[in-house]
Amino acid sequence: MEKQIASLHLVSAFLAMEPTDCVMSHARSLGGGSVTVDVQRFIWDHCISKAIGKCHAPYLKIFLKKLILEIESNRDDVLDELYELYSEFMISLKVGSGVGLVGICLSHVKASKVILSDGGLSTLSNMKLNLKMNQISTEDDEPVTSECLDSFDHAQIGGMRTEIDIISLPHVKCLHLPWECASESVLQKLKPDIILGADVIYDPLCLPHLVRVLSILLDKTKSSSQLPRVGFDGAIGCSHDCSNGCGARDVAAACDSAGSASPAEHPTAYISSVIRNANTFDRFLALVDEANLAITDLTGTLPPASLLPYMQSYDRSSIRLFKLSSK
């Protein structure tokens, strides 16, 4: 009888959109003090799965986040369904995306809001081709022709760009984002929940710019509306075309089409890297420290999955994974 009442209170509080702390307290009561797997299943079946597409999405996002955090902090297992649904609310931004493989993978696991960025215009163009080859495309996309590729290259050389920076694809947006000239206001408009980077710590000249970009993206205390708009910084040691880097309008378009409505809470960056040069990596760590960012080495706890197991030449043991957040 007690359980029935606790279940009824839980469902009713959720439907009434009570503050999420209150809903969580009903969930704990139902589980006898903690949000057990059975309680999670009950919440999924009777609250969340029925609310998808019908309830106020920001409320559902906040509730999911609170639920997952509480379960994780008790070191209990989280239902896959909860993680999967939460990932659909998150905006992932990849810096230095290269060929776009991560975007392709994320879109396959139904991550709904993915922004792939890179500072190279020809890299972006190649990325778009790769996305198209993986059926990640929209009917509106202009076909990418060799002419188009040429114009990207010419644009880079001549400093005159004729192509737009944002290429709309379902689930995945491509964004021209050279770290050297990405302005604070532009970065703040992106509001990612998760920032990803792979093999981006190798050029000492670029590192200050990369860390500056990360620290702005990770700073959740500032919102774009509170901050003065600043122009593009001068490019020092810039290896990427800043002549017509990402504009605020382009970023706003990327965010709008990615469905970004509310500011990210506690954004986190995950950077994987092979440490080829210890000095370069130490420089990165020093810059991270100066920027007042927290960095944790997750390599021991989250070793790389054995993707592409046939590639024996690929030495996974040298890959490190770091988590960064604002202190």
What residues line the site for ligand SAM (CB under 6 A)?
A: 96-99, 118-120, 123, 178-180, 198-200, 206, 209, 239-240
Smallest separation (angstroms) from ligand SAM to the CB of 118:
5
Which residues touch 104 (CB under 8 Å, ≥6 apart)? Answer: 130, 131, 134, 136, 172
Query: How many Cα neighbours within 13 Å face the side chain of 49?
Result: 12
| Residue 31 or 119 having the CB closest to ligand SAM | 119
| Residue 58 or 159 having the CB closest to ligand SAM | 159
Separation of alpha carbons 20 and 259, rounded Å: 23
Smallest separation (angstroms) from ligand SAM to the CB of 35:
36
Strands 319-326 and 172-176: unpaired
Burial annotation 88-105 (CB, 10 A radius, 16+ → b, else e) = bbbbbbbbbbbebebbbe
DSSP strands (E only) in the chain: 91-95, 113-118, 167-168, 172-176, 194-198, 268-274, 293-297, 319-326
Dihedral, CA atoms, 59, 65, 71, 77, nearest 10 degrees?
110
| Residue 17 or 101 having the CB closest to ligand SAM | 101
Smallest separation (angstroms) from ligand SAM to the CB of 8:
50
Separation of alpha carbons 274 and 285, rounded Å: 14
| Residue 180 or 193 having the CB closest to ligand SAM | 180
Smallest separation (angstroms) from ligand SAM to the CB of 314:
12
| Residue 116 or 253 having the CB closest to ligand SAM | 116
Q: In what order do the strands lie in the sheet with 319-326?
A: 167-168, 172-176, 113-118, 91-95, 194-198, 268-274, 319-326, 293-297
Element of type H or E holding 315:
none
Smallest separation (angstroms) from ligand SAM to the CB of 104:
12
Smallest separation (angstroms) from ligand SAM to the CB of 200:
5
Separation of alpha carbons 83 and 303, rounded Å: 20
| Residue 126 or 185 having the CB closest to ligand SAM | 126
| Residue 31 or 120 having the CB closest to ligand SAM | 120
Smallest separation (angstroms) from ligand SAM to the CB of 199:
4
The single residue listed with the structure tokens 């970065």 is 187
